[in-house]
Amino acid sequence: MKKNGRLSILLPAILLPAILLVGGFISMAAAQSPATAPSNSPDASASDMLDRMLKPAGQAPAPLQPITYPAQTNQATAAVAPGATTQPTVREGTFVVDRTGRLSKSADGQQVIFTFDSDGRAMQDPPLIILPNLKLEVMEQAVAGSNRDLRFRVTGMLTEYRNHNYLLLDKVVVIPDVVQQF
């Protein structure tokens, strides 16, 4: 009975690793078998194979046609002056950072306009209507209290309304008449 008890304990201990080992060999053999079917003509030469690959296909796919997008309706003039060249409006939320220019009134005198100085690159920045805020008030007071044409360095965010751009000022600095450069 003792012998039988040991055998019943040893049998699963030996049998389980043996089953796992045989299963591993079977899976390795399956993994090493080719994944594709052998070619139809095993004795085909390299030149025959090349000729088959270079032979044109039966029906070529049609080329893709270009997509035509609808015309953009938001490409109106951003210029303020009548008869000015048309410019596309700039996207709302774009920032104007440290740009120099001068303050002036619109042709009808109702709006205050910021005219950019030439930056030497595009030189196509249209004048922007300045939205009223405390920074504009500071600019107007500086112009009223001065006897010369003041230049300002401004930073602000562009807004867009009815195909015109407007400037909401964040920072305004009066540029002194003589700027020393070292």
Whether the pLDDT of residue 2 is over 60: the answer is no
The pLDDT of residue 73: 39
The pLDDT of residue 72: 43
Percent of the chain scoring above 70 in pLDDT:
68
pLDDT tens string 121-163: 666 778 899 999 999 999 999 999 888 889 999 999 999 998 8
Q: Which residue has the higher pLDDT, 22 or 114?
A: 114
Q: Which residue has the higher pLDDT, 46 or 33?
A: 46
CA quadruple 88, 123, 100, 86: dihedral, nearest 10: -30
The pLDDT of residue 138: 93
Backbone angles phi, psi at 165, to 5 degrees: -95, 145
Q: Considering the entire predicted model, what is its pTM? A: 0.50
pLDDT tens string 53-89: 888 777 766 777 776 655 443 344 445 555 555 677 8
The pLDDT of residue 35: 58
The pLDDT of residue 74: 39
Q: Which residue has the higher pLDDT, 25 or 98?
A: 98
CA angle 121, 157, 152 (to 5 degrees): 60
The burial of 62, by beta-carbon neighbours within 10 Å (0-12 exposed, 13-18 middle, 19 or more buried), is given as exposed
The pLDDT of residue 123: 60
CA quadruple 91, 158, 132, 125: dihedral, nearest 10: -100
Percent of the chain scoring above 90 in pLDDT:
24
All domains in the chain, ordered by first residue:
95-175 (2.40.50.140)
